[in-house]
Amino acid sequence: MDRHSKHGQRRTMARATMALVAGGLLWGAAGSVAADELKTPVMQQGADRKQVQMPRHGQPQQQVQSDYGQPQTVKGPVGDPPITQWVYDDFVVYFEYDHVIHSVKKPE
């Protein structure tokens, strides 16, 4: 191969590389322009949580029952450690063994 044909090959490869890069940039830009915006509403439980009194972490089942009465439904225990759910009108209480690990306000 002579010097001119090597130079021509390099120029062709450089053009092909630039075309691929430019095409990729255009494709990426077109993809971002055409993408739909997805908005997911976030439940603002932090503000609502103050309106509903719920059991606190660490409270024993006996105290929860004394403070809030008999739950509508009891689910569990399930798993190891055993997790039990007590369902009330406005919230659900999760127990590990016999202590509250979390209380969650029901969505309205």
What is the distance in angstroms between the CA of the first residue and the CA of the last residue of the chain?
A: 78
In terms of average pLDDT, the best of 11-15, 27-31, 32-36, 46-50 is 11-15
DSSP letters of 79-90?
A: TTTTEEEEE-SS
Q: H helices of the chain, where? A: 3-34, 45-49, 61-68
| pLDDT tens, position by position, 62-83 | 999 999 999 999 999 999 999 9
Give the Cα separation of 11 and 14 in Å (integer).
Answer: 5
Give per-residue pLDDT as tens, 80-93: 999 999 999 999 99
- Pair 99, 64: CB distance under 8 Å: no
CA distances from 56 to 38, 40, 59, 61 (A): 35, 29, 6, 11
User: Does 40 score more than 70 pLDDT?
Assistant: no
Task: Categorize the per-residue pLDDT at 49 as very low, low, confident or very high, splitting at 50, 70 and 90.
Answer: very low
Share above pLDDT 70 across residues of the chain, in percent, rounded to a whole number: 54
For the chain, give the percent of residues with pLDDT over 90. 48
Local structure of residue 60 (DSSP, 8 states): B
